[in-house]
Amino acid sequence: CLNEPCNSEGLDSSTLGWATDFFIAGAIITLGVFLLCGGGQQQQVKNETASRSSSAWALIFMGLAYVLGGLGHSIWSNSGFDDNLGQQEYFLCWAGSFTFMTLSVWQTNRYLGQTLHTLHQMLSHEGPIRRLRRFLKITFFLNLIAWAVTIGGYLWCATKSDLHTDDAIDNMPELDEPQQDRDSCLNLAVVGEFSWYISFALFWIPASTCLRHMVRAKQPGRMYGLPLNWAPWLIMIIPWTFGIMLIVWVAVASLIIDHGDDDDSNGGLVEQPVELYSDIYAAVIYHFGMLLQYFLFHNIALGLHRAIVATAADEADPNQVSKEEVIDVEKAKPGQENNGADHEPPSIIEAPTAPSQEEQEEAQNSNAIVVIQQAPAAAEKKEVAANSSAAQVF
């Protein structure tokens, strides 16, 4: 919440947490808009525009999800996980946030589908492509199921008026009082939320494999000075380490490590995840992981886009002369060296043939005709010269 300290009820509502929410939202949306506008390229390829748009919208939707996440962590931060009293705006914010994140996964799946189609045309065997498509469909389907469960839980809580309160900070029951059972809609939302995190990390395993094949095939080189060969590997590793799965690892670790007091009636398990999450600054680490993951995804999408545009420009330019053509022209020029180019082997050079007897007779006749034609002209020149000399004497 904005005024610390406050009761988070299983939610990290610290200023550092929601501030990084808005920061990565702005950064990811900026990258998506830049990619949507063409990535600084004047020339565009018609068949590649849809693929670039899908990757751009994947970034924009993920950024919008973190905008709603920041609102849910700052303004409407009463989740109701401990006392079954939460803000209705909180439930709606998180339902919208997970909807935008699922839309981002859907657009990423579209982009990868178009990439796999290109790979299918480039590779001679389609066995790996078929397996990648099957794996992508399975992981995306699991992500959709997790989204449906999460949305069902949060929207169910949003429609139950007995769970609603207008206060971001409400009166918590004392530790010696018996804790109420968590409402079914909240349990459903928590199960769906953690299932979504796991399915999201699973989705990026075939996604990174597809990107790795495409980078190897197109060789986009570097982007912002960073090589792209290792970027797909990081995109696969980040979600499982310090990315989105960090939330799951913290929850699992809090259940294994006993941080609760003996006097705590619930064993301290309710507040353990968020306490450990705050102690290790997991919000900052996880947000940095998500920003790095989508920054690398943006670099790959932009690098592939520029490589495809450059290839299309080379194929469409009729005035471009290849190196082989330049070498042939240099060979045809007499009296010039080839500047290190390979000369034709002597075996393929044809030797000049001697003229035939008919050609020699035709040449002699033509010479005779020329002599005959030149004789009268010489006589006329002599007469003119004699007349001119006589005129000079007189």
Q: Which two tokens stand for residue 115?
A: 């990439």
Q: What is the pLDDT of residues 13-41, one digit of tens each?
A: 677 878 899 999 999 999 999 988 876 55
Rounded CA gap, 185 and 191, in Å?
10
pLDDT at 76: 82
Displacement of CA 330 from its chain's centroid (Å) = 44
Rounded CA gap, 63 and 75, in Å?
18
Output the average pLDDT for the chain. Answer: 74
Q: Which two tokens stand for residue 362?
A: 């035709």
Q: Which residue has the tokens 């259940």?
A: 255
Q: Which pairs count as long-range contacts for 214-222, CB under 8 Å and 24+ apart, including other chains?
A: 214/115, 214/118, 214/119, 214/300, 214/304, 215/300, 215/303, 215/304, 217/119, 217/122, 218/304, 218/307, 218/308, 219/307, 220/300, 220/303, 220/304, 220/306, 220/307, 221/303, 221/307, 222/303
Q: Which of 279, 306, 301, 194 is nearest to 293 (CA)?
A: 301
Q: How many CB atoms lie within 10 A of CB 145?
A: 14
- Phi, psi at 381, each rounded to 5°: -60, -35
Q: What is the pLDDT of residues 99-148, one digit of tens each?
A: 999 999 999 999 988 877 766 665 555 567 778 888 999 999 999 999 99
Rounded CA gap, 143 and 102, in Å?
7
pLDDT at 363: 59
Rounded CA gap, 24 and 29, in Å?
8
Q: Which two tokens stand for residue 377?
A: 């002209």
| 236-242-246 Cα angle (round to 5) | 110
Rounded CA gap, 122 and 130, in Å?
14
Helix intervals (H) in the chain: 15-36, 46-74, 88-122, 127-159, 184-218, 231-237, 246-256, 272-279, 282-316, 323-332, 357-393
Q: Which two tokens stand for residue 109?
A: 């799946």
Rounded CA gap, 68 and 214, in Å?
33
Rounded CA gap, 241 and 264, in Å?
32
SS (H, E, C) 255-293: HHCCCCCCCCCCCCCCCHHHHHHHHCCHHHHHHHHHHHH
pLDDT at 271: 47
Hey, is 354 helix, strand or coil? coil
| Cα–Cα distance list, 158 to 90, 163, 167 (Å) | 9, 8, 15
Q: How many CB atoms lie within 10 A of CB 233?
A: 14
Q: Which two tokens stand for residue 282?
A: 């997991």
Evaluate whether 167 touches 138 at the Cβ level (below 8 Å): no
Listed as ranges, residues in the chain with pLDDT below 70 are 1-13, 39-50, 118-127, 167-180, 258-274, 309, 311-394
pLDDT at 56: 93
Share of the chain above pLDDT 70, in %: 61
Max Cα–Cα distance, the chain, nearest Å: 154
pLDDT at 223: 74
Evaluate whether 51 touches 36 at the Cβ level (below 8 Å): no
